Chains A and B, each alone.
Chain A
Amino acid sequence: GNSVTQMEGPVTLSEEAFLTINCTYTATGYPSLFWYVQYPGEGLQLLLKATKADDKGSNKGFEATYRKETTSFHLEKGSVQVSDSAVYFCALTASGGSYIPTFGRGTSLIVHP
């Protein structure tokens, strides 16, 4: 079956540091890949997505590149802010068969001033 593996958190950074949150996946075919962000007490918001190999999704200074050769979709940001503190979820939906999304367990990011 499909699966998504994210790095364990929490990830603790100082403001303006570089962020990488690793995500790797297992899926048949050509899945679509997503990053969601969840701020405290809120629902999940779509942050960015990529639907085919080598696509780069980007939003709010975050970006992730769909790497089929390494089955990865790592989230990066060049300079984090305190307001980026949240939980980040990597997810996929398969190209065929089950359309049910598969989520990683989430990675908590804490940014200190």
Chain B
Amino acid sequence: SQTIHQWPATLVQPVGSPLSLECTVEGTSNPNLYWYRQAAGRGLQLLFYSVGIGQISSEVPQNLSASRPQDRQFILSSKKLLLSDSGFYLCAWSRPPGTGNTIYFGEGSWLTVV
């Protein structure tokens, strides 16, 4: 069966510090990968998605970036965090188009920028 894990689960970072959130998927190959942010108010904001290694599409211009160094690994980064980056970050995966389109989420990472 397929599983998705992301870490760390919680972190508190000072303004201006770097960020790295990591996500891995097991039990499948060539997944589509996604990073979402959920700020207060519950709505989901798509930040990045990837259809393959090294292929990243950004949905929202900001000081965050994403990378996909391996097929099942997706990393969210920032060089300098802002207070407005605080929120709940969710990694997700789905199978390639045409093979089933359900999206599955990780456990989430709480980021507090102080």
Contacts and interface: CB of A to CB of B under 8 A. Distances in A.
Interface of A: 32, 34, 36, 38, 41-46, 49, 87, 89, 91, 93, 99-101, 103, 105-106, 108
A38 B38 CA distance: 12
Q: Specify the main secondary structure of chain B where it touches its partner.
A: strand
Contacts of A100: 34, 46, 49
Given A42-B107, A42-B108, A43-B107, A49 B102 contact: yes
A45 B92 CA distance: 11
Interface residues of B, number: 20
Nearest to B6: A43
A43 B103 contact: no
A-B interface, 5 closest residue pairs, ranked by CB to CB distance from nearest: A106-B42, A93-B101, A43-B105, A99-B97, A44-B105
A44 to B, nearest CB: 4
A105 B43 contact: yes
Contact of A46 (B46, B49, B97, B104): B104
Interface in B62-94: 90, 92, 94
22 contacts: A32-B101, A34-B103, A36-B105, A41-B108, A43-B90, A43-B105, A44-B90, A44-B92, A44-B105, A45-B105, A93-B94, A93-B102, A99-B32, A99-B97, A100-B46, A101-B94, A103-B43, A103-B44, A105-B42, A105-B43, A106-B43, A108-B42
Given A99-B97, A105-B43, A106-B43, A93 B103 contact: yes
A99 B94 contact: yes
A42 B90 CA distance: 9
A34 B102 contact: yes
Contacts of B52: none
A93 to B, nearest CB: 4
Contacts of B94: 93, 99, 101
Nearest to A103: B44
